[in-house]
Structures are given as C-alpha cells and as structure tokens.
Structure 1
Amino acid sequence: MTANPETAIIVAGGSGSRMQSNLPKQFLTLAGQPILMHTIRRFYAYNPAMELIVVLPHNQIAFWEELCAQHAFEMQHKVVAGGATRFQSVKNGLAAVLQNGVVAVHDGVRPFVSAGIIAEAFHVAREKGTAVVSVALKDSIREVQGETNQAVDRTSFRLIQTPQCFQAELLKKAYELPEESTFTDDASVVEKLGTKINLTEGSYENIKITTPEDLLWAEVLHQKR
C-alpha cells in the first residue's frame, strides 16, 4: 500500500432520458468507445496505481461487462452496484474503498477531465481535507422569486464540477448522515458536518455529457485532443 493512497469512485447511474436515448448515456459511443471508458482512462492516465471503483445500476453491470469484452477494455477497476439515488450510489462505492488516503468522486460522463485538474484536487484534499473542482460563470444570471427577478453579481458564484476529493475518513463519516434532499453533490454532504469546502480550478472543457448537444460538443473536444 502506498504512503498516500488515492481512490476514484466513478458514478455512472444515468438513464439516458435527457439524452433522448434508450441507451444509458455512460454507454453512448464517443469516438468509437463508450463514454465511461474514456472517463476511466483519464484517471488511469493520471495514476495507473490508484484504486478505481465504478458504480453502476445493478441491471447495467452485465451489459458493461459485455462492452468491456467487446472493446478489449482491460483497465483494472472494481464494479459496485448503485442505489436508488446518487447519495446511495456513492455510499455503496465508499463501502468498497479498502484504503485511507484521498477519495475522488467523479461523474462517469465527464470524460475530458485533465490530469492536471485531478492532480490539483488530490493535492489540496490531501493538505486541507476537501477539494471541489469549479469554474467561474461566464453568463449573466438573475435570481427569480415568484413572479419577480433581479440581477445578481455572478462573481459571487461558481459552477461546480467533479472530481470532488476528500480525505477518506471524512467522506465516510459524512455518508453516515441520513440522506437529505439538499444533498445534490458530495460537497453538500460533507458540508453538513460543518467542514469547510475548498474550491480548485476546473475547466470549461470538463463537460458533463447529458444532452444531445453535449454529445456533439464532446465529439469536437475529442477531435481537438
């Protein structure tokens, strides 16, 4: 076991409804391979020795295994069955983490995260306990309350991405909390403990592929790289 072990939990529980597809979005093809394979490859390129845990709906695991055989995808990873919600899926993934150190939680359909972004998030989480990747807003925003709305200062807000990295013991403690509707990501769960969330810089190319437009943009990004 390494002195500073690193683990990535890649959560891939999409259904494909917003993608207008019968095939779950993590299995849609990008440059000839399922999106999820591209995502796993990003973390493997960053650290081939890290522990990789993929969380999938139970009824999709056999299909994923077929895809791995079909594409001769041999990057080592553990597959865990998810739950009814993202909170439950991450909790199941955490139960499979065998070491301490730092754990990253990442969306299975963010296949363009760079090694630099991953490295910085792990580094900050190792030093400070938490690290959540984010980017500044590019567009103007307005706050809507009922039938009224008003402009707000966009510099006071950040768009949150993944990976979100935490010291393993802290993240496991947070996921012992009862699930709440306000838990939209891992940072909101850890924050419930009263823990400070540190933000690290992400990238506008670190997109989450959820709509047909996203998939078109993903093809452009892949050709660029």
Structure 2
Amino acid sequence: MAKKAAILVAGGKGTRMGGPIAKQYLPVAGQPILMRTLSVFYGADPSTDLILVLPESEFFYWEKLCAEYKFELPHRLVAGGNSRFQSVRNGLDALSSDAKLVAIHDGVRPFVKREVIEESFEVAERTGSAISVIHLKDSIRKVNSEGHSFFEERQFYRLVQTPQTFQVEKIKKAFTASEKSQFTDDATVYENQGWQVTLIAGNEENIKITTPADMDFAEFIASGKSSDR
C-alpha cells in the first residue's frame, strides 16, 4: 500500500473560546482535544506518519502536556505559519520522501470516524483527492450585497469537513501557488490547479470545536450518548 501521512493543523489562538488556553489543548472527557485527534488517526493505521503543526512558541507547552498525560503516541512537530495555508504548506514540506498520500485535518475535529479516514485514503489513491462532506438539514437562503435573500435548493450543497486527503505529488504542486483569499480550505487550493475534487461522506459528529457551546457538545459526544455513535 502507498505510504500514508496525516497533517493535523492546530495553529489557532482559540480566541472565540474566551479562555487563557488555546482550544486545542482543552480536555474533553479527561483528554486534550489534540491527543484525541491524533489517537483516531493512529488507530486507523499505526503506520501513518503523523505530523502535528503548532505555533513554535507552544512546542514546550505541548511537550509538557504529553508528559503530564503520559501521551506517547508517535508524532512529529512542525512549526506553523501566519495563516492556515502557510501552516499546511509547512506540514507538506516536512513530509518524508516516500509519502504518497496525505490527509490534512483540523486538529480540533477529534470525532472523525476511522471509517472516514480509511475511505479518504482509499479514494484519494484512486482519484487524486477525497474531501469529506455532509448533507445540509436546514433550508438555506442566499443573501446579496443589497440584503435581499433568495431561496436555494439545499440538495445541491454540502457542508465541508476534514480530513481532506490527496496524492502528495498533486497537493504539493497545488501549494506552490501564491496564497489567495478564496483558499478557504485545501480543496480550494487543489481546485486552483484545474482539478476536480472527489467528495466522500463525512460524519455529522465530526464537529470543529471553536466555541464554549462546542465544548459542551464535545463532552456529550465523548460520553457516548450521541445517537450517531
């Protein structure tokens, strides 16, 4: 099988959480979020080269946390950049020469299912990319610059998650482009090359933990009471 890697991006300051500690280090059900996320990827395939992208100024704090929680799962630290785009590019630059497939994942999405990770690698190996998405449940409206709103057919839209998995050769080429405001995720960087992305089914509980309300929901999911688990 192709050599796999995973880049977990966690360079944010967590300002929306409102606390003194960045969100990625907060515990959910007794374990810091990042450790939960790393553990899922390791559980999906222990041979995956795990790269954790953090602000360099937080390396020591992370190492202290690992010692405190006796977290010994193998992974490498890479310094993040001034934006998510730059952080991902730094992670790509750190890939080993034999890596053929790479999953790029938000470090604060600890509830991704192993099955999603596994499928993302399988599909990306065949097609070049695999972007996890979920269907919308709510009705949606488009609002123009004048404040007028218009009904949109929700069946034509998807909510985008991570992991977003790619053939290494292609995504590294895509990230040689100059950073643009429309690069809201890795799929848009890939598409900038003129390539079509392949969508796969994500899982609804794969939330991005950003706010205190998200933390409450994360505790609920971790408790095993979520109907989706």
Determine if the alignment matches structure 1 residue 172 to structure 2 residue 157: no
Determine if the alignment matches structure 1 residue 141 to structure 2 residue 161: no
Q: Which moved more, 1:97-106 or 1:187-196?
A: 97-106
8 A Cα contact 1:8 1:53, kept in partner: yes
* SS, match of residue 160 in structure 1: strand
> What corresponds to 1:88 in structure 2?
86
Q: 2: CA distance between counterparts of 1:160 and 1:76? A: 28
Q: 1: CA distance between counterparts of 2:32 and 2:89? A: 25
- Alignment identity in percent? 49
Consecutive unaligned residues in structure 1, runs of 5 or more: none
Deviations 1:47-92 (A, max 9, x none): 0111000000111111001100111100000000000000000000
Deviations 1:11-48 (A, max 9, x none): 00121211111211100111111100000000000001
> What corresponds to 1:76 in structure 2?
74
> What corresponds to 1:106 in structure 2?
105
Q: 2: CA distance between counterparts of 1:211 and 1:202? A: 21
Q: 2: CA distance between counterparts of 1:208 and 1:21? A: 17
Amino acid at match of 1:211: T
Deviations 1:189-216 (A, max 9, x none): 0000001100000011111100111110
> What corresponds to 1:49 in structure 2?
47
> What corresponds to 2:190 in structure 1?
190
* SS, match of residue 43 in structure 2: helix
Q: 1: CA distance between counterparts of 2:49 and 2:80? A: 18
Q: 1: CA distance between counterparts of 2:12 and 2:83? A: 11
* SS, match of residue 18 in structure 1: helix
Q: 2: CA distance between counterparts of 1:23 and 1:195? A: 39
> What corresponds to 1:131 in structure 2?
130
8 A Cα contact 1:135 1:202, kept in partner: yes
Residue 95 of structure 1 and its aligned partner are, at CA, apart by 0.7
TM-score under structure 2 length normalisation: 0.96
1:25 to 23, 31, 37: 23
Q: 2: CA distance between counterparts of 1:113 and 1:179? A: 28
8 A Cα contact 1:135 1:203, kept in partner: yes
- For residues 152-163 of structure 1, the aligned pairs below 5 Å read 152-163=152-163
Q: 1: CA distance between counterparts of 2:48 and 2:103? A: 11
Q: 2: CA distance between counterparts of 1:114 and 1:156? A: 24
Determine if the alignment matches structure 1 residue 221 to structure 2 residue 212: no
8 A Cα contact 1:100 1:169, kept in partner: no
Q: 2: CA distance between counterparts of 1:178 and 1:171? A: 14
TM-score under structure 1 length normalisation: 0.97
Residue 100 of structure 1 and its aligned partner are, at CA, apart by 2.8
Cα root mean square deviation, aligned? 0.8
